[in-house]
């Protein structure tokens, strides 16, 4: 086995990235104006099956504006999973709202839709499901609950480009969906984000607020206090080139998951893979395992053995309710806590060969056994 380090994630630039970037440099269109921004937005909307898409500097600010434009304000409650990246909760806090946490489903590790109604109060404004590690949530149940109580649904699809539920792409299963293009995602623009929606009024409002609130028909006339959340033409150039290859990158993630199942299948009593529910089609952004009580080593021990073998890993996200900004002294979310204590993200990028995956799996197997 090659002694080079195996990373959890590596971007792959195998298409028109350099060509498009060079065009930005040669034409001078390097900031928020230029042809690639509009083309990337249009093509991403088409990819998702949405009417409209708006690009952003990063995924966190796209989620913030999705929340703000959904009229979440001071004291409003937004229901979300406790097992997620902290940007989900932060986006609500930025608006003055309160994240309200729900435990995870034991199979998918996504928000447990059966527990959402117990968290609804008179202050609840929205539900924010997260398609964790590229696995779609039970959007049928979530939308039924939202309709019953008159709530808005905002999808955090940061990790789930191309995933679908009941044949429909995530991000379009609600009023608005947010994506991230950080460097470790299935497709990247270095940093970057995108909102998709079918709501024309919401789309126009989002565009206004993301560009300093400048009136689109009267240059340098600002009608609201807006934000500078714009994606640059250079980011969009990379993003467009990546979008042209996204089907191949998704196929890579699915290939990687199948290979891990092949080489770790004999450890089914000691590890659990993230599962899917009926109707969901994951893109397996990260192949992630949770060590069961039958594993002969702790997560720290397994990760240390892998580090010694020159393999990078990372823990599953820590649940929000144990984080200092969102700490709940009496919080009890057993599935999320179990996964958060025992979960490991394995190398999951397009450069991985079967030989490399076999090597990683062998190290995992020896560590656990």
- The domain boundary residue, chosen from 243, 258, 279: 243
- Asked if the structure places residue 6 within a domain, the reply is no
What are the phi and psi torsion angles at 107 (to 5°)?
-95, -50
In a shared domain, residues 50 and 164: yes
- Asked if the structure places residue 26 within a domain, the reply is yes
Beta bridge partners of 111: 104
In a shared domain, residues 199 and 58: yes
Domain count of the fold of the chain: 2
In order along its 369 residues, the chain shows pLDDT tens digits of 445 899 999 999 999 999 999 999 999 999 999 999 999 999 999 999 999 999 999 999 999 999 999 999 999 999 999 999 999 999 999 999 999 999 999 999 999 999 999 999 999 999 999 999 999 999 999 999 999 999 999 999 999 999 999 999 999 999 999 999 999 999 999 999 999 999 999 999 999 999 999 999 999 999 999 999 999 999 999 999 999 999 999 999 999 999 999 999 999 999 999 999 999 999 999 999 999 999 999 999 999 999 999 999 999 999 999 999 999 999 999 999 999 999 999 999 999 999 999 999 999 999 998
From the list 335, 13, 50, the residue with the least C-alpha distance to 164 is 50
- Asked if the structure places residue 318 within a domain, the reply is yes
In a shared domain, residues 256 and 218: no
- The domain boundary residue, chosen from 198, 224, 243: 243
Separation of alpha carbons 271 and 265, rounded Å: 9
Beta bridge partners of 127: 79, 153
CA distances from residue 303 to 96, 271, 309, 343 in whole angstroms, order as listed: 38, 14, 10, 10
Dihedral Cα 82, 281, 69, 219, nearest 10 deg: 130
């Amino acid at each position: 086995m090659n002694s080079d380090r195996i990373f959890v994630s590596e971007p792959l630039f195998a298409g028109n990235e350099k060509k498009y970037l060079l065009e930005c440099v040669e034409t001078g269109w390097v900031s928020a104006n230029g042809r690639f921004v509009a083309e990337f937005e249009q093509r991403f909307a088409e990819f998702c099956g949405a009417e409209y898409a708006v690009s952003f500097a990063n995924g966190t600010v796209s989620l913030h504006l999705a929340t703000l434009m959904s009229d979440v304000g001071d004291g409003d409650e937004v229901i979300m999973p406790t097992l997620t990246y902290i940007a989900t909760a932060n986006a609500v806090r930025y608006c003055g709202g309160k994240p309200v946490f729900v435990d995870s489903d034991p199979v998918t590790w996504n928000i447990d839709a059966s527990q959402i109604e117990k968290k609804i109060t008179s202050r609840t404004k929205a539900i924010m499901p997260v398609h964790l590690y590229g696995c779609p949530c039970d959007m049928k149940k979530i939308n039924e609950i939202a309709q019953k109580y008159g709530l808005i649904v905002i999808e955090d699809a940061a990790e789930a480009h191309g995933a679908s539920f009941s044949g429909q792409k995530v991000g379009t299963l609600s009023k608005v969906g947010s994506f991230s293009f950080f460097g470790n995602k299935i497709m990247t623009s270095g940093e970057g984000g995108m909102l998709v929606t079918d709501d024309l009024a919401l789309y126009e409002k989002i565009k206004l607020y993301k560009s300093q609130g400048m009136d689109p028909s009267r240059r340098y006339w600002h009608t609201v206090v807006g934000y500078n959340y714009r994606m640059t033409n250079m980011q969009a150039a990379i993003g467009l080139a990546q979008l042209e290859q996204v089907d191949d990158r998704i196929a890579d993630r699915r290939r990687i998951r199948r290979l891990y199942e092949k080489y770790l299948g004999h450890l089914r009593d000691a590890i659990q893979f993230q599962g899917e529910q009926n109707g969901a089609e994951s893109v397996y952004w990260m192949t992630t395992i949770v060590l069961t009580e039958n594993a002969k080593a702790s997560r720290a021990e397994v990760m240390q053995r892998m580090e010694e073998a020159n393999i990078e890993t990372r823990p599953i996200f820590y649940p929000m309710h144990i984080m200092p900004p969102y700490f709940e002294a009496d919080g009890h979310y057993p599935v999320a806590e179990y996964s958060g204590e025992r979960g490991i993200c394995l190398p999951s990028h397009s450069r991985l060969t079967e030989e490399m995956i076999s090597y990683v799996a062998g190290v995992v197997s020896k560590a656990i056994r």
